[in-house]
A and B are shown apart, each in its own frame.
Chain A
């Protein structure tokens, strides 16, 4: 039986791990290579790096981090943030990333998703969306949550599936950093719209939120940052809790 995945996410800025509260007020939580190694040793099913300020700043530091991490971690490594072009994807894959997540560029230039999935295979192309509720729909934000595109999230993910995305990483802007739980309605709507796996993100504050993301949000995988970083819970604890709640996990 296919297991639901737990993915600790490390937001990286200038080669250091940070985690924002609603994308501002960053706090330093350590060295990404060491953190990734701790997570993979602790049973993380995948590791995710998001280079959060990459759209505006020199991002060469991430290549070094990816290269070092991939020599120590033998679980899948997803890297995103500031990925603009097929060449950017190629570079990250060559450094040892297994998947690359595309956010802003997927909205501005969907052809990047088409081209890269053809060139490298859908298995390594993750489309990441930051969505914010507006009335009874959700809108896509880009540039690390700074720009509202007005694009309808549900329509957009369908288009991304058709363009060759292998997975969707769905972050609720309303919930990110709040620790009140995933936007379950958003997750389940998207999950029912597409046939590719959905990774739920944004808002985890306790282990029940992970359970809800899978049971109610129908996510294939759950991504979380702060609950793991600051020692509130280990990945192992999270897995044992999910197992207790009847969710299939790799233990």
Chain B
């Protein structure tokens, strides 16, 4: 099996690579690439993302044909994809960080700034917070409710259809921290930095 981590200049992806390689232990081939032909042939895709919504969308679009290949792979061929942080946020129709930017439109909704209640809550939301599992999700198999995950973000994904939400976390309000829609998975937190529990989520994704 071939798992591709999409390398599209979306910021720092070393930790994502290290964690997937640690979990895969050479049993599964982990490849980091922006080569469209390789991505087309992959069994599973990881879409990382750091920085702003706009910078990640721009970076995706700057690789000619990449969005088309991802659409074909994920929407038509239904290959499992895991979006992490801004990787998840880009599933939305639209994002409002820096400026209004069109997303991939895979899961209807928007990405807007966390309401920090007039400064009562610090932003970014940085650190370990507990997840509340609201729906069974394949990537959360064996993960206990209230497990801690590592977050670092100021914007949140607000999907139109709440049925796609698999976990939420409490920070100023209930923030969506993971989604699942058919073959599309995403986590707002960083499984690659969430210690053993995070690695378990990566393991679940690899074993889908």
**Contact status of A121 and B14, CB under 8 A, knowing A5-B128, A75-B195, A196-B122:** no
Name the B residues within 8 Å of A76 (CB-CB).
150, 152, 190, 193
Task: Establish whether residues A75 and B124, one from each chain, have CB atoms under 8 Å apart when the complex forms.
Answer: no
Query: CA of A71 to CA of B192 in the docked complex: distance in angstroms?
Result: 11
Contact of B124 among A5, A98, A166 (CB under 8 A): A166
B34 at the interface (CB under 8 A from A): no
Complex Cα distance, B6 from A20, in Å, reads 42
Any A CB within 8 A of the CB of B32: no
Query: In residues 50-102 of chain A, which contact B (Cβ within 8 Å)?
Result: 70-71, 74-77, 93-98
Cβ-defined contact, B128 with A250, below 8 A? yes
| CA of A196 to CA of B196, assembled, Å | 27
B137 at interface, CB cutoff 8 A: no
Q: Which residues of B contact A95 (CB under 8 A)?
A: 14
- The reply to whether A70 and B18 form a contact with Cβ atoms under 8 Å apart is yes
Known contacts A94-B14, A96-B15, A124-B12; decide if A74 and B22 are in contact (CB<8 Å): yes
Chain A hits for B18, CB < 8 A = 70-71, 74, 96
Answer whether A196 and B129 are a contact pair too, CB < 8 Å, given A70-B14, A70-B18, A96-B15: no
A191 (CB) vs chain B CBs: closest residue: B122
Q: How far is the CB of B125 from chain A (nearest CB, A)?
A: 7
Are the C-beta atoms of B130 and A1 separated by less than 8 Å? yes
CA of A97 to CA of B122, assembled, Å: 23
B106 at the interface (CB under 8 A from A): no
Asked if A74 contacts B116 (CB within 8 A), the reply is: no
Q: How far is the CA of A98 from the CA of B140 in the complex (A)?
A: 24
Task: Tell me which residues from 113 to 160 in chain B have a Cβ below 8 Å from any Cβ of chain A.
Answer: 116, 119, 122-130, 148, 150-154
A149 adjacent to chain B (CB < 8 Å): no
Chain A residues with a Cβ closer than 8 Å to the other chain, count: 34
Q: Is A206 positioned at the interface, with any CB of B under 8 Å from its CB? A: no
Q: How far is the CA of A97 from the CA of B22 in the complex (A)?
A: 16
Q: Is A197 an interface residue (CB 8 A)?
A: yes
Shortest CB-to-CB span from A100 to chain B, Å, is: 9
Q: Is A45 an interface residue (CB 8 A)?
A: yes
Residues of A contacting B198 with CB < 8 Å? 74
A108 at the interface (CB under 8 A from B): no
Point out the residue from B11, B21, B129, B150 that lies within 8 Å of A75, measured CB to CB. Answer: B150
A183 in the interface (beta carbon within 8 A):
no
Contact across chains for B193 and A196 when beta carbons are under 8 A apart: no
List, sorted by A's number, 29 A–B pairs whose CB atoms are closer than 8 Å.
Answer: A2-B125, A2-B129, A45-B127, A70-B18, A71-B22, A74-B18, A74-B193, A76-B152, A76-B190, A93-B11, A94-B12, A95-B14, A96-B14, A96-B18, A97-B14, A98-B12, A118-B55, A120-B11, A121-B50, A121-B51, A122-B124, A122-B154, A124-B50, A166-B126, A166-B152, A195-B122, A196-B123, A220-B127, A250-B148
18 other contacts beyond A93-B12, A197-B124, A220-B126, with CB at 8 A cut-off?
A2-B129, A5-B128, A70-B18, A71-B18, A74-B193, A74-B194, A95-B14, A96-B14, A98-B15, A98-B193, A118-B55, A122-B124, A123-B51, A123-B126, A124-B11, A196-B123, A197-B126, A221-B127
